[in-house]
Structure formats: structure tokens, C-alpha cells
Amino acid sequence: MKILIYKPVRQAKRIKVSIPYDMKEEREMLKKIEGRWYHKNQKLWSIPYTPENFNLLQKLFAGKYEIVDQNSIPQRPSITLNTKSMEELAKMHQKLVLKGYSEHTLRNYKHELTGFLKYFENFDLKKLDKEKIESYIFYLVDKYKIGESQQNMAINAIKFYYEQVLGMPREYYQIQRPKKRKSLPNVMSQEEVLKLINYPKNLKHKAILYTIYSCGLRVSELLNLRIKDIHSDEGFVYIKGGKGKKDRHTVLSENLLILLREYFKKYKPSYWLFEGQDGGKYSAKSVQAIFRKAREATGVNPWATPHTLRHSFATHLLENGENLRNIQIMLGHDSSKTTEIYTHVINVSNKKIKNPLDIILKSNKFDNENDTK
């Protein structure tokens, strides 16, 4: 077996390295590189990407490595549709808008349907059978190496088009889907979260990170928070129109409230809780930049994103003994099964969980006299 060094994709910040379990000496060599990090969910290491570090890995593991070029995967080309296909795309757009789908979903569905319409440009779409549609999905997976998420997005867009635009029966759309990956959410420890959210010196930046973590928010939900959504007397934050257009309440931290009052006095927002320089909503790009700067400066999990704070919020609540149903409500999950995934990522240690061996040894008295005979 060989060490796999993943050639960084464009604009990558890290170099990923996979070291076989038996290669202990090589693993110890990697551990000496500054900024190295082990990603237990992916079972691989990463180090900061610089040309010097990329060359260093090749020198350290000379004759024992293989480079995986992630840039060799072809990109999906830009597409020009004919008039007939453009009309179908317009029908799809109209139906999505009338049904109140989000801009994000609208954009993704139209992108996926555009490729589908181009591929079957010379076919009668109403006569396409399941096998032909699945052959298109296979084409995307085989040629462009799309992942499970994008594969499902393409299927959902096609399904919506046939069911909602063409009015075809539902059984027509039972297209083979990829097996669902049982991956665990990326989570930071409580110590890492504290370091990260306390890093910004800018009061607004700190308040943003505190709010995402302490309320378990998605970035879009943070940006949509209004001043009136902070219910200080009742002790909750009102989330209006979260994912799936669902409203919900989440807990309001006493420490967050103190910070927000300080922030409010200084910045005096007029409507949105966090506003940009022009008074409109704060931008997602700016939130990403704030988080990225704090992550790099504090040296916490280099693959963490703002959404990792939401995952960490749920996991830390579980570790502190909070009821799973309450966590489900605060996160806005329809099903408890979605929330239950956090039970798999709680910090397992003998400080938090009593080992059954310790319990039975402590609760049973052994006959020392017989034991020594």
C-alpha cells in the first residue's frame, strides 16, 4: 500500500494525505510538520498548502507515495439551449416561483435541468423511459465524477420537471438514487469553539460568531435575524423562515444577550440584527471571511466552516445532558432521526461515560481470601 498525496484543487488551503495504518514511522514524520491536522471522520491528514510543503511531502515519502490529481476531473461545460428547451426551462422556472421555492433551490434545479434538456435535445421528453433517464445520471457520475449530493439534486430537478411541469405520474420517476453516505457531521470541541468565537477584536464580528454558535444557526438564518427576533424577556430567539420555510424558537444565551446589547449600543442597527455598511443585510461572504480568519489564527480544525458551529452547538448540548427532543426543536429538524446523528459524535471519554467494567468492579466485593488462594 502507498501513501496518497492529494494534489490540491484550485484555491485549496490544505494538502490532504492518506497514510496506511501500518506505516507508523511515516505517520510520525508527518506529525512533525507545523500545522498538521488529523481528520478522524475522513481518516486522513492535512497540512497547510504551500509549494514548499508539497515538495517536502514528496521528499519525506520518496518511493512510498502516489499523487492523486483532483484537477484531472473534467468540468461540466457551459450550455446553450435551443428555443424549445429554453421554453421548457422557463416553464420550470415559473412553477418553482409559484410554489415558493427558495432562490438557492431555483438556481440549482434550473442548472441541473439545463444539462438534462441539452443531453436529450433531440428526444421527445414525454417518451423517455426510466432507463434513459438513469443513463443520463450515469453519464454525469462517470464523466464528471459528481458526488451523491449533486446526483440527488439532478434527480430531484428531473423529478420535479416531470411531475410538476409535465404532469406525469409519480411512479415514472422512481430513478435509482445513490446509497446514502452515513457520514458524521464535522464538530469542534468546546475548547476550540471558545478560542474561535473569542478571537475577533471587532465587536460585530464577535457577536456574529457568538450568535451562530449559541443559537445553532445556519448562516442564512443569521443573516435573516431582525432586531425584534431577540426576545430578551422570554429568553428565546425567533427564527423566521428557516430551512423549509419553517419558523422556530431557539434558546437565548445570557452571555450572548450581554454581548448583543453592547453591540447594539455601538452599531445601532435599524432593522436587521446584523447590517452591512449600506444598512442592508450582512453578506454570507463576509461571515465566511470572519470565520476563516478566526479559524486560521486560532489553529482549530482547518476544515471547519460556519456550519460546524451549528453541529458543535447540537453535540455540546447532548454532551451536557440536554434532551434530544429539545435539540430537535431548536435546530428545526422535522424528524428526530436527523438530530440523532449527533449522538454518534459526542466526545467519548472516561470523564463523561462510566465504563461498565469500572461499575461492576466497584459494585461487587470480591473475597480477597479466596482470591489469593
Active site residues: 218, 243, 307, 310, 333, 342
* CB-based contacts of 70-79 (< 8 A; 24+ apart in sequence): 70/6, 70/7, 70/8, 70/9, 71/7, 71/9, 71/10, 73/144, 73/145, 74/143, 74/144, 75/144, 76/115, 76/140, 76/144, 79/114, 79/115, 79/118
Burial class (CB in 10 A: 0-12, 13-18, 19+), 194: middle
Q: d(Cα 309, Cα 302) in Å, to the nearest integer?
A: 13
Helix/strand/coil for 5:
strand
Q: Which three cell numbers stand for residue 300?
A: 482549530
Q: d(Cα 227, Cα 251) in Å, to the nearest integer?
A: 16
Could you tell me the strand order of the sheet in which 230-231 lies? 230-231, 236-239, 248-251
- Looking at residue 282, the DSSP 8-state letter turns out to be P
Cβ proximity of 294 and 308 under 8 Å: no
Residue type, 4: L
Q: d(Cα 302, Cα 42) in Å, to the nearest integer?
A: 13
